[in-house]
Amino acid sequence: MKFSRKKKLLRSLIVLFVIALFLALTYFILVWTGLYEKFNSVEKLKNLILGLGLWGRIVYVCFQFLQVTILPLPSPIIIIAGSLIYGPFQAGLLSLAGILLGSAFAFFLGKVFGVKIVRFMIGKEAQEKWSKTLGDCKYSFVIMMLLPCFPDDILCLVAGLTDMSWTFFMLTQFIARPIGIFSVSYLSSGEVIPYHGWGLAVWAVIIIVSIILIYLAGKYNKEIEKFINKLFKKNKKENKNSKKI
């Protein structure tokens, strides 16, 4: 029994070491080649993708996958760069593919390899903070994924440490991700809401409303959780009663 536990522990440590080595090597290569700096600039990233020709779309999806799982990069920059190259709709679809795959992989890492790998990737303090938040507010996870102030990549990793099911997690991703991605993709172009004239007033309203929602979500997250929880319980009871009839 003890030998079996030691064997499992050794396997886990080997897997963790391989993943850590892969992450460190990927980061080193990107920094060494200068690609990491290009990821943080819309214009540089645009030129990089355009220079890849037909491979650009595949690389673009990989960029979005990596920014969720490995690289601490802001996804809006990659989405905006994609919109300038492929147009809002196609960039939105490509971003959605990469981000959904990355989110699922991040959740998988947390669920399968546990606290050690998550702490290695985001640090102990961040892991404890968001584990507590998600532990207390499971249903509010949907709202967190929708609002721009929350770290989506960290939330996906930490969600794997909770009792959240794959079904609930992926359902949340399929609801929240398209809304956020296509909003950035279309709105950033300035075609829907221009950056001049009446558009400035609309942008001001959007920013103010976003700040208010972020504030309310942070302050009343427990109350929101209780309300959503009651709705779910109510729906379950109604379904049970309808089945009995």
Instruction: Tell me the pLDDT tens digit for each residue of 73-120.
Output: 667 778 887 887 888 888 899 999 999 999 999 999 888 888 888 888
Q: What is the percent of the chain where pLDDT is above 90?
A: 9
Residue bearing the bigger pLDDT, 238 or 129: 129
Percent of the chain with pLDDT over 70: 62
Other CB atoms within 10 A of residue 40 CB = 13
Q: Name the residue ranges covered by the structural domains of the chain.
A: 2-192
**What tokens appear for 185 in the block?**
């993709």
- 118 torsion bin: left (phi>0), alpha (psi -120 to 50), beta (else): alpha
Distance CA(112)–CA(12), nearest Å, equals: 10
Other beta carbons less than 10 A from residue 1's beta carbon: 5
Span 144-160, mean pLDDT?
82
pLDDT band at 126 (very low <50, low <70, confident <90, very high): confident
Q: Please state whether 72 falls in left (phi above 0), alpha (psi between -120 and 50) or beta.
A: beta
The half-sphere exposure of 132 on its side-chain side, counting CA atoms within 13 A, is 5
Query: Rounded distance, CA 224 to CA 35, Å?
Result: 42
Q: CA 211 to CA 132: how far, in whole Å?
A: 23
Residue 8: is its pLDDT beyond 70? no
Helix (H) and strand (E) counts in the chain:
12, 0
